[in-house]
Structure 1
């Protein structure tokens, strides 16, 4: 994904870098411009206003407005009060290519082992979707069905511990974020886990860790384990989560793409 660039208009409405990229890649076509618009979004930038979308993509503002409207009509983008973001159809199409479906398939055996090892009430696999978190997989017994229902499928990121982990890596050191929140995100990135107690499920606490792809801070998902609040083996649970996250990362690399 391309990051933001300084806007230097050459008369065509395209930023200098964006225009050069478009010319080099032969992107002065409708499909080429659509690709540039979609690639303007990144793991840390989920919603873009019209001007910023134009600047980041290198597509003229007039073309950006026209194409964005068409992409919204076809479900490839959503229009929100804050601007444009990738549409749900992108996720649905992703089920047919390496992506969420592959991640869920690769991760499930590890999640099953994780629940058994931690004796958790439930374990979850979550990925980002715009400003929300989507739970790709949830494993729990029949007695824990209330926990699964309470968590739900797609929820605002700030409402879950998994979402806080993702936001810590999305937002980074964004100066528009409140200082105390930046400090919390920095702490999460440094220790590589976050927790909450009783916010989602009374009497339970949840620990969540990032799942990286090819190492580093390229976080593609979060796994979490929900246990009873009275337990005192927190470090054991966290270490089990780290081991599971590492196994999922390695499995993603060694699993062939069909």
Structure 2
């Protein structure tokens, strides 16, 4: 199975409705090879990469050599690994999505006020992807950094993003399977939709022990200038440090204030971006 299929993030031509002739399979395969490298396979042989992607060894060899020539991979002793150049892809995302840079000071202030991690996330396929984060490394046993993916159905961030998403997106998440990660994970589609309705009514989501036992998280929507929800602002702690009532009564108001601040800055950023800049001299 390809890396694109494994992470559930890609829309092939059949899903998107695009003409098959407009779909460049070689690009898909190139990304599949790049995504084959992760914490479990930081350095892989040709055979290992082929097994992970489901591609033939000759095809993988050509892709590896091409990516090496472009500077995204390096090889040593028959094993391949990513180079720092791949980080520039993430930098391009941040540079073209103002919400990432704008959110950082707000995340920092929220972290300082709560002494817990604060994050910004967006939907990608059926997962939630962290696009900005100020971290306190003591909450989760799983490692979370910018670029990390978690299932949308089992997280407060995902609940917020799905609550204001189109029905087709919610249906895609349901059809992908609401897999249980703990005994408390919502796996019933009716219960999930009821939960999303409650989130829309309350204006925030709180999830306890659905992604990981003992993890307590909350999320609120971040809106663009036209009111569209463009991201979720999230906070995470453990049931041993805060109760559900404390998070709801003490932390959520701080989060709503931070989200309003990000939204206001997004409006200002858009206005500043469209405002003409006066120039001296004759033109």
Q: TM > 0.5 between the two?
A: yes
175 and 162 in structure 1: CA distance in 2 versus 1, 3 angstrom threshold: closer
Q: Is 1:139 aligned to residue 139 of structure 2?
A: no
Q: How does 1:229-244 map to 2 (within 5 A)?
A: 229-230=242-243, 232-233=245-246, 234-244=248-258
Superposition TM-score, scaled by structure 2 size: 0.55
Deviation at 1:104, TM superposition (A): 2.5
Write out aligned runs for 1:1-258 (5 A): 48=11, 50-53=13-16, 55=17, 57=18, 59=19, 61=20, 63-64=21-22, 67-75=23-31, 92=90, 94-95=92-93, 97-99=95-97, 102-117=98-113, 119-140=114-135, 144-147=136-139, 150=142, 152-153=144-145, 154-155=148-149, 156-172=151-167, 177=174, 178-200=189-211, 203-216=214-227, 218-227=228-237, 228-230=241-243, 232-233=245-246, 234-255=248-269, 256-257=272-273
Seen in structure 2, the aligned counterparts of structure 1 residues 215 and 246 have a Cα distance that, compared at 3 Å, is farther
Q: CA deviation at 1:247?
A: 0.7
Q: Report how far residue 71 of structure 1 moved.
A: 3.5
**3-state SS of the aligned residue for 1:106?**
helix
**1:159 Cα deviation from its structure 2 partner:** 3.5
Task: Give 1:110 deviation, angstroms.
Answer: 1.0
1:222-243: per-residue Cα shift (whole Å, max 9, x none)?
1112243336432332121111
Q: Secondary structure at the match of 1:220?
A: strand
Relative to the length of structure 1, the TM-score reads 0.60
Secondary structure in structure 2 of the residue aligned to 1:123: strand
> For residues 126 and 175 of structure 1, what CA distance do their matches in structure 2 show?
20
Contact 2:216 2:244 (C-alpha < 8 Å) held by counterparts: no
Post-superposition CA distance 1:48-70 (Å, at most 9, x none) = 454443x3x4x3x4x14xx2414
CA contact under 8 A between 1:197 and 1:204: conserved in structure 2? yes
- Which has the larger Rg? 2
CA distance 1:148–1:175, change in 2 (3 Å): closer
Task: Report deviation, 1:97.
Answer: 3.9
Do the aligned partners of 2:139 and 2:215 also contact (CA within 8 Å) in 1? no
Gaps of 5+ in 2: 1-8, 36-52, 55-85, 175-188, 275-283
Q: CA deviation at 1:175?
A: 6.2
Distance 1:229 1:179 in 2: 29
Aligned residues: CA RMSD: 3.7
Distance 1:200 1:211, change over 3 A: same
Unaligned runs of 5+ in 1: 1-45, 82-87
In the TM superposition, what is the alpha-carbon distance from 1:93 to its structure 2 partner?
Answer: 7.0
